[in-house]
């Protein structure tokens, strides 16, 4: 019975992408997103992700209240409260708003901060870095390059080889197992 169930599951997974053509980009990952659809990354002629534009009302219909507050209003979840701060499964972390792959479990590390931390993005073109001077500080904000969703901040106190610490809100991410 277990072997039959496994074969049935394997068969269903093999058909999950029927009708979808994966992107030719080397770092592409197909993932489920808040819109309940599977959206492979698409790139413009310069190699940047094609932008997703939605109204606040559209975002509110597809995101939880906390995800909307963080992704669309640049909020922050409480430390040690998110699903991924102590998550160790292998796979990819994609934007919870649009499904663009942002980080890999291979670059995740325990920063002790209570938020998921990574030392590099899966593709530099998948994140946008902006100066954030809110709350009397100067930081570098990390946004999803496809939908503009706020992910967190990047700091220069991370491990080798990059020395960076992308400090990301769990609610800004969806995890896609390897």
Residues annotated as catalytic are 167
Contact by Cβ (8 Å): 105, 94: no
DSSP state of 119: S
Pairwise CA distance, residues 178 & 163, whole Å: 26
Q: How far apart, in whole angstroms, are the C-alpha atoms of residue 168 and residue 77?
A: 10
Please work out, in degrees rounded to the nearest 5, the angle formed at the alpha carbon of residue 165 by the alpha carbons of 175 and 97: 35
Long-range contacts of 21-25 (CB under 8 A, 24+ apart): 25/123
């Amino acid at each position: 019975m277990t072997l039959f169930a496994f074969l049935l599951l394997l068969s269903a997974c093999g058909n999950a992408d029927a009708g979808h053509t994966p992107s030719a980009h080397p770092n592409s990952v197909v993932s489920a997103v808040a819109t309940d659809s599977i959206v492979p990354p698409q790139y413009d002629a310069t190699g940047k992700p094609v932008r997703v534009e939605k109204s606040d009302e559209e975002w509110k219909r597809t995101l939880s209240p906390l995800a909307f507050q963080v992704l669309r209003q640049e909020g922050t979840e409480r430390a040690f409260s998110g699903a991924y701060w102590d998550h160790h499964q292998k796979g990819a972390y994609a934007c919870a708003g649009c499904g663009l792959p942002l980080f890999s479990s291979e670059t995740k590390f325990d920063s002790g901060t209570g938020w998921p931390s990574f030392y590099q993005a899966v593709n530099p073109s998948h994140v946008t870095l902006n100066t954030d001077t809110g709350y009397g500080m100067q930081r570098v904000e990390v946004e999803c390059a496809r939908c503009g969703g706020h992910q967190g901040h990047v700091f220069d106190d991370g491990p080798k080889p990059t020395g960076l610490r992308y400090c990301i809100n769990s609610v800004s991410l969806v995890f896609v197992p390897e």
